[in-house]
Structure 1
Amino acid sequence: MMDHTIITIGRQFGSGGHEVGNRLAERLNIPLYDHNLIRMAARDLGISNEDAGRVDETRLGNVLSSYYIGMGDYTTFMLSPEVEKPLSDQLFDAQSAIIRKLAERGPGIFVGRCADYVLGDYSNVVNTFIYAYKDDRINRIMDIYKLSEKEAVDKIKKIDRERRLYYEGRTDRKWGSIDANAILLNTSLLGIDGAVDALEAIYHKWENR
């Protein structure tokens, strides 16, 4: 059992969830784990970051899911001699093992990657989902990526759909639901700093229990 606190953050695209995680990690002086988990998992699997990125938070059954152990460059990793697994499954397993190891090591913030599900057996985990109103998300994506309104809407739909399918395909839970998360924070109402303030207060309360 862990005696330190872990925060997981799921997020709608354009809600500022990743920025919330970054700012919170800086305030608390604890690690933030996000895309670096993919690099760690890719290293363990002996595959490139580019290949790993193509199955990160995307639908189970995407193109790379058809690449099995024993094909081409993917002969470097095998869970057991008699079991063949799609690359997407291997990546998820490796990533999940890394998440558990890092969570056991000390406090931290995990963004995405089904971390709430992976750490479901741990008691000191605060599962959070960050969302925002549609117009605010569109404006944020337009500003960050210098896109037109239509391009921003299309990008939000695509990435949210990929995250939802990835999450629900791995966990059998509804993405962004109150059943899967202890806390839902609306950055349209709270702002980024308000969401960080709330999570900082919750973190300290949990640490002092």
Structure 2
Amino acid sequence: MVQNILSNYSEVFRQQKLEGHISPGPVITISRECGCSAKRIATKLSKILTGYSYLSETKTDVEWRWISKEILEEASNELEMDPNHVKNVFLSERKVPLEEVTSAFSTEKVYDADDQKVIETVGTVIRSFAIAGHQIIVGRGGEILSQGITDRLAIRLEAPLDWRVNRIMQISSLSHSDARDYVIEIDRQRDLFVEHIAGRKVNNSDFDLIFNYSTMLDDHIVDAIVSVLKNRQII
């Protein structure tokens, strides 16, 4: 599965070189545990990095953007498939009752042929975005699918389970028990999907930065990311 995606990536990269885009990236990926707001970090980061591009020595006006649902929309277009079917492969993209989440995932996830086609297309779309550069990719195994790109920073947002459960309770009508079940199942769902893409369990070595979201403000996380990007001369 992942070999097919990497093969597709190589072809896209070759085409990009023919069109004059020699170096892929820069790209940032953000993985998160359920209850950690990657979108808030990505939104702030995209605005700040766009500002840096305006002030750079090259004076190149480049807009950084963060993408999430756009990946699924692009995949739907390429597959000429109902967007809802694509979203169904990524259960957390839909607002679903807790019982549907828990019934859809147990100890493993079995993907059918249509699912495999969706996953492969989504993977190719992610690689294409990563090659194009100046993208912040939220979720969907971006840390795996962007490996091999030099100007890449892979970020992980984590927090203690109890903290995340309480946060889900604050933004939903779920009880403590239901919120805990929901968080655990969504985490498991995401882990199983990325393991399916990678062909192995993902571990800390797949990320460049891991933040405890419960102890840091969004602005502090963004500042730390920008500092690392500067030090690594990605920006």
2:209 equivalent to 1:183? yes
DSSP-derived class of the 1:189 partner:
coil
DSSP-derived class of the 2:171 partner:
helix
TM-score, length basis structure 2 = 0.72
**Counterpart position of 1:94:** 121
Matches within 5 A, 1:45-194: 45-56=79-90, 61-62=109-110, 65-66=111-112, 86-175=113-202, 177-194=203-220
2:229 equivalent to 1:203? yes
Which ranges in structure 2 are unaligned for 5 or more consecutive residues?
1-21, 51-63, 93-104
2:63 equivalent to 1:12? no
2:66 equivalent to 1:40? no
Give the stretch that moved more between structures: 1-10 or 184-193.
1-10
What per-residue deviation string (whole Å, max 9, x for no partner) do you get for residues 73-126 of structure 1? xxxxxxxxxxxxx12221122112212222222311001111121111211111
**Counterpart position of 2:18:** none
Percent of pairs with identical residues: 24
In 2 relative to 1, CA 200–187 (structure 1 residues): closer, same or farther, beyond 3 Å? same
CA distance in 1, matches of 2:201, 2:222: 24
Which ranges in structure 1 are unaligned for 5 or more consecutive residues?
67-85
Q: Is the CA contact 2:26–2:234 (under 8 Å) kept in the aligned structure 1?
A: no
Matched residue count: 187
RMSD after superposition? 2.1
CA distance in 1, matches of 2:174, 2:223: 30
Give the stretch that moved more between structures: 140-149 or 154-163.
140-149
DSSP-derived class of the 1:137 partner:
helix
Q: Is the CA contact 1:5–1:203 (under 8 Å) kept in the aligned structure 2?
A: no
Q: Is the CA contact 1:131–1:184 (under 8 Å) kept in the aligned structure 2?
A: yes
